[in-house]
Structure 1
Amino acid sequence: MFERFTDRAREIVRRARDEARSDGQQRPVGTEHLLLALLADEASLASRVLVEAGATADDLRARVRRHTEAGGAGFGDADAAALREIGIDLAAIVARVEEAFGPDALREALPEPRRRWGRRRRHSGGPFSPRSKKVLELSLREAIRLRHNHIGSEHILLGLLREGHGLAALVLTEAGVDLDDLRRRVEAALRTAA
């Protein structure tokens, strides 16, 4: 599949891996990292369409950070809202824990797992989360559907939109971007570019 990726699309995937590593942890590449990498390539069709739809890298990066760091234990706004629905105030719980155990008590890293037999253990899913793998597969399907013999940034964006349930889709929606409208914009830009 990767042999069909354009140089620009390969660079976006590399940039997404860098985004995932940017916080110093070894995390798999998520849909949010693919989205941020798409926006970073300002000359790409995907980036231009995202910006025209009202998405900005700084805003989306802040939204991603809120979801991955909120509450100190990885709880985002959606998690807090779901807990609130069943009568649990996440902010109050976090405040109590920090009062009892100190500031950022929930942010402390878990101890490194013990290694067995001298082998190094990696994240079992490889460098990509299951959702981001699905996005890359869907980008191939989108290219085939459009009868393109390559996979470019626009196909990765269409894959993100088609997957529709990852953190990338959530932060785009929170930023006021209509996912169906964004899909139409990408397809219109592709017709114009052809």
Structure 2
Amino acid sequence: MFERFTDEARQVVKLAQGNARSLRHNHIGTEHLLLGILEQPDTASARLVNRHGLDHAQASEAVVRVLGTLPIGDIDADALDAIGIDLAAVREKVEAAFGPGALDRQPTRDRRGGLVSGRSIPFTPRAKKVLELSLREALALKSRDIRDGHILLGLLREGQGLGVRILSDAGIDLPTLQVEMRAEVGTSRQ
């Protein structure tokens, strides 16, 4: 299915994973897909949701209010500080060399027992359903590819996840958003 995704739609999925990592969540849910959509402000779906009054920062705050974030480990930081090691400085240098969240990933082992860099974060069943529904939306709109707008339509069609709850709690009229997004992706068919 991912071979049908446009670059922007693939980026939504990558950014969803990045948002889950930065919030230190152990799953990629519908809320992270929404954050992935909103993190690309130049896409049709993000522009539309922004026009309805919700941006990435507001959505991220809503996710944190509901789910929180996992602690980094203040006890460890205090213990290291007591022996003269600044954990924030170490983290900054490691992330500069290996990328954001490099210390947050748990190492795994390959089939031969060798260490492999960070683990992947699993999608929740609802997030998987959103991606499946994005394909159905694309097919229904006779699109040859799956765009970021189809992912938003899949999110709205799934209708039960935290992503939709955040949109609704922001006062967005979901049926209107759905009609407007369908019109937008319908005119940009390829």
TM-score (structure 2 length as normaliser)? 0.69
Runs (4+) off by over 6 Å: none
Describe the SS at the equivalent of 2:68: helix
Describe the SS at the equivalent of 1:159: helix
Alignment deviations for residues 35-57 of structure 1 (CA, whole Å, 9 cap, x no partner): 01100111111111111111121
The residue number in structure 2 matching 1:101 is none
TM-score (structure 1 length as normaliser)? 0.68
2:29/2:124 contact within 8 Å kept: yes
Partner residue of 2:149 out of 145, 149, 154: 154
The residue number in structure 2 matching 1:127 is 122
State the Cα RMSD in Å.
2.4
The residue number in structure 2 matching 1:49 is 48
Counterpart Cα distance in 2 of 1:23 and 1:170: 18
The residue number in structure 2 matching 1:186 is 181
1:17/1:127 contact within 8 Å kept: no
Deviation at 1:23, TM superposition (A): 2.6
Alignment deviations for residues 2-47 of structure 1 (CA, whole Å, 9 cap, x no partner): 110011111110110111111335x111000000110011111111
Q: Aligned partner of 2:147: which letter?
A: G
Deviation at 1:193, TM superposition (A): 3.9
1:54/1:177 contact within 8 Å kept: yes
Aligned length: 144
- Give unmatched runs, 5+ long, in structure 1: 73-117
Partner residue of 2:161 out of 158, 163, 166: 166
1:21-32 to 2 correspondences below 5 Å: 21-25=21-25, 27-32=26-31
1:143/1:149 contact within 8 Å kept: yes
The residue number in structure 1 matching 2:91 is none
Alignment deviations for residues 125-161 of structure 1 (CA, whole Å, 9 cap, x no partner): 9621100000000000000000101001000000000
